[in-house]
Amino acid sequence: MKTILITAFEPFDGETLNPSWEAVRQLDRRELVGATVIARQLPCAFGQSLTVLQQTIESVQPVMVLAVGQAGGRAEVSVERIGINVDDARIADNCGQQPIDRPIAAEGPAAYFATLPIKAMVAAIREAGIPAAVSQTAGTYVCNHVMYGLLHYLHQHRPQVRGGFIHIPYLPEQAVAHPGQASMSADSVIRALEAALTAALSVEEDIRQTGGATH
Positions marked active-site: 80, 143, 167
Alpha-carbon distances, residue 108 vs 40, 102, 150, 157 (angstroms)? 26, 12, 12, 14
Given candidates 4, 84, 150, 190, which one binds its own copies under the rule CB under 8 A? 84
**Distance (Å, whole) CA 9 – CA 161:** 21
CB closer to its own copies out of 11 and 36: 11
CB closer to its own copies out of 29 and 208: 208
Strands (E) in the chain, as ranges, are: 2-9, 31-32, 35-42, 64-70, 77-80, 82-84, 111-113, 132-135, 162-168
Count of residues binding its own copies (CB under 8 A)? Answer: 67
The one segment of 1-9, 31-39, 94-102, 156-164 that binds its own copies by CB under 8 A: 94-102
Given candidates 19, 40, 167, 195, which one binds its own copies under the rule CB under 8 A? 167
**Distance (Å, whole) CA 196 – CA 202:** 10
Please list every residue from 24 through 43 that binds its own copies, using CB under 8 A: none
Closest CA to 89 of 12, 159, 23, 173: 12
Alpha-carbon distances, residue 41 vs 6, 20, 50, 56 (angstroms)? 9, 9, 12, 10
Given candidates 33, 58, 157, 172, which one binds its own copies under the rule CB under 8 A? 172
Does residue number 112 form part of the binding site for its own copies (CB under 8 A)? Answer: yes
CB of 105 to its own copies, least distance (A): 13
CB of 38 to its own copies, least distance (A): 24
Given candidates 63, 75, 105, 203, which one binds its own copies under the rule CB under 8 A? 75
Does residue number 173 form part of the binding site for its own copies (CB under 8 A)? Answer: yes
**Distance (Å, whole) CA 148 – CA 105:** 9
**Distance (Å, whole) CA 127 – CA 192:** 9
The one segment of 29-37, 51-59, 84-92, 195-203 that binds its own copies by CB under 8 A: 84-92
The tally of CA atoms less than 13 A away on the side-chain side of residue 167 is: 26
Burial class (CB in 10 A: 0-12, 13-18, 19+), 181: middle
- Footprint on this chain of its own copies (rule: CB under 8 A): 13, 69-76, 78, 81-82, 84, 86-91, 98, 100-101, 109-113, 119, 126, 129-134, 136-141, 143-144, 167, 172-173, 175-176, 178-185, 187-188, 206, 208-215
